[in-house]
Structure 1
Amino acid sequence: MKTTPISPADLQASVISVPPLCRDAQLRPHAAENARLIKHIESGGVTTLLYGGNANFYNIALSEFEAVLDQLEAAAGPDTLIVPAFGPYFGTAMDQAAILAKKKFPTAMLLPTVAVSSPKGVQAAVMKLVEKYGKPIVLYIKDQGYVTLDVVKALVAAGAISWIKYAVVRADPAQDDLLAGLVKTVDPKLIVSGIGEQPAIVHWQKFGIHSFTSGCVCVAPRRSQEMLNALRAGDTAKADAIRERFNSLETLRNTYGPIPVLHHAVSLAGIAETGPALPLIADLGDDVLDEVLPAAQGLLAWNKA
């Protein structure tokens, strides 16, 4: 596992995959299946894995947190960067930060919540968490109003932020005043487009954000990495053609929920057995799975073609 500090070059070299976490029938983290999924992602040239929302780290038990970290570290290749998540609630995050401080992960992402937070409260929490962890963390901006530009500027200036995952969904990703302000407030090289392939090209061209996260990369890692490489080469037409091929599964994720659809898609494609969904997420019904199956298998077949 890569343990050196993360640079903008690291963020731009690989699609940042956001995998599900495989569990067995008793909901225990499944080391062998998680290793299978990691190897599949690595086989496509993808070397960054972020375990956050798709892995349902929101609902992970504190009692299993360290064991999960050890599983992921053991499964990763020597050049693979693993970024775990912690939080979203402050007390839990502080306990998790103490565990992370004993590990070799170069950063971790604070899961966001707007239900019981304020921008200044987020700022104070990040500073305390960074002090406990001993390393800068990933700031995940998922909702309007979670933080202000002044808060982000102060946290970056304090050296508390490794990078920023920006994932505020817009009807038109080109119309985004918050993102426009963010790229003027901090170096765009610190910002990652965090909503998959769909808005990545717009974010790249209009806002100068040259890295992106993806869930569907877990099914078709080679193709998602090809999209990133096409963007880096200035071949927008090729990148857009690749993006279009991801739409079948992404549309299902938008319709039925991004986390459960991806969780099932990885299993239905035969990549790894992800097991039952960890509550508070629920498994999808057979009628939905019948829609996910051909999309997942088709995406994997295209990845192998």
Structure 2
Amino acid sequence: MPNFSVTPEMLAKSVLSVPPLARKADYTLDREGNRQILAHLAQGGVTTALYGGNANLYNISVREFAEMVDMLKEIAPSGTWLIPSVGPDYGKSLDQIAILKDHDLPTAMVLPLNFPVTSAGVATGLRRIADAYGRPIIAYVKSLDYISAADLAAVVTDGAICTIKYAVVRQNPKEDIYLSELVQKVDRKIIISGIGERPAISHLMDFGLQGFTSGSVCVAPAMSTGILKALKAGNVAEAERLRAFFMGLEDLRDGVSPLRVLHEAVATAGIADTGPILPFLENITDAKVLSAITAASQKLLAADRAYQSGQVEKQVERA
């Protein structure tokens, strides 16, 4: 059991990275590739790694889940906060939570299930998963028909949830009835924006959320951290300036596949060889799309290195 609890201050300390999971050609876990990704994040100031959708944990076996947790604990840089995800179905969640009880990780996130679910059923499941774990968990809201704001708030009141990852995509993130209701029912300090840099400014400044998760942070950790620091300081102009660097890669992720594009982006940027994506998904093979990903990921990485060296203004002029 960890000797600490998840607090709002811990959530605000770092961007919550959501990395891909590197694999070898035979689909086995790539220890070195995953070590390189975590080292790149830590070098850029990111100390939290939330393994979930981008790691394709929807399709991981329970046996390999145990291997993954052991591997990540062994290779993570000192001070990195690891959070694995379980599920998305109830039965798999319980099997994986039983494995996590033997590890001193702070919490786990439950992946959202699209079908078959009811709001009351999800609420009951989250309570029982947290009870089996013996500590509060992270709830992940990705669609409006997963769990109602009222039911989610009741689970929080029961002490089963330490954090809510909110990731419902809106055309205008400022207009969000569900999130508006949720922040009235739940302490907004335990809610994090879960859709990367694009809506992060609105979610933190307009709704008062505590932090944000990011996939593209795996390419540009220092600049993503800069966005979080700027928002915490109330410097929206600086956050918007830095966010502009991410939009090329984020547009590709939104247009093709957030998970699959990030998997290739980390590799084409030269950060780590991520290898094949576990079935039922597949790697991107379209040459034009891969070329666009390569250009966007390398440009973002170059900007991040310039930012770390204090030369980002020159990058802005050339962007």
TM-score norm. by structure 2 comes to 0.93
**219-228 or 278-287, larger mean C-alpha shift:** 278-287
Identity %: 45
Root-mean-square deviation over aligned CA pairs: 1.0
Q: SS at 2:211's partner residue?
A: coil
Q: What residue number does 2:70 align with?
A: 70
**1:188-207 matched pairs, under 5 angstroms:** 188-207=188-207
* Aligned mates of 1:27, 1:254 — CA distance in 2: 26
Counterparts in 2 of 1:151-300, with a 5 A limit? 151-285=151-285, 286-300=287-301
2: CA distance between counterparts of 1:184 and 1:301? 41
Residue 65 of structure 1: CA displacement? 0.8
Question: Secondary structure of the equivalent of 1:24?
Answer: coil
Local SS of the residue matching 1:271: coil
Shift of 1:296: 0.5
Alignment of 1:127 with 2:132, yes or no, is: no
* Contact 1:3–1:81 (8 Å) recurs in 2: no
Instruction: Measure, in 1, the Cα distance between the counterparts of 2:259 and 2:40.
Output: 19
Distance 1:255 1:3, change over 3 A: farther
1:189 to partner: Cα distance:
0.3
Structure 1 residue 282: Cα displacement = 1.2
CA distance in 1, matches of 2:3, 2:12: 17
Aligned partner of residue 38 in structure 1, secondary structure:
helix
Contact map agreement 1:21 1:55 (CA 8 A) in 2 = yes
Compute the displacement of 1:33 (Å).
Answer: 1.0
Q: 1:276 to 1:76 in 2, by over 3 A?
A: same
Shift of 1:196: 0.4
Match of 2:311 in 1: none
What is the one-letter code of the residue matched to 2:305? K
CA distance in 1, matches of 2:149, 2:261: 33
Q: Give the superposition deviation at 1:210.
A: 2.8
Conservation of the 8 A alpha-carbon contact between 2:227 and 2:238: yes
AA of the residue aligned to 1:152: L
Question: C-alpha distance in 2, partners of 1:143/1:194?
Answer: 12
Q: Deviations over 1:198-226 (max 9, x none)?
A: 00111112111130011000000001001
Aligned equivalents of 1:281, 1:241: Cα separation in 2: 34
Indicate the residue corresponding to 1:44 in structure 2: 44
- Give 3-state SS (helix, strand or coil) of 1:27's partner: coil
Distance (Å, rounded) in 1 between the aligned partners of 2:123 and 2:284: 37
Structure-2 separation of matches of 1:101 and 1:131: 11
Shift of 1:293: 0.4
The C-alpha deviation readout for 1:241-300, integer Å capped at 9, x for no partner, is 111110000000011100000000000011011001111111112221011001011111
Instruction: Work out the CA distance in 1 between the residues paired with 2:198 and 2:153.
Output: 27
Distance 2:235 2:248 in 1: 22
The CA deviation at 1:149 is 1.9
| In structure 1, distance between residues paired with 2:4 and 2:43 | 22
SS at 1:169 equivalent: coil
Deviation at 1:3, TM superposition (A): 6.1
Contact 1:3 1:105 in 2 (8 A): no
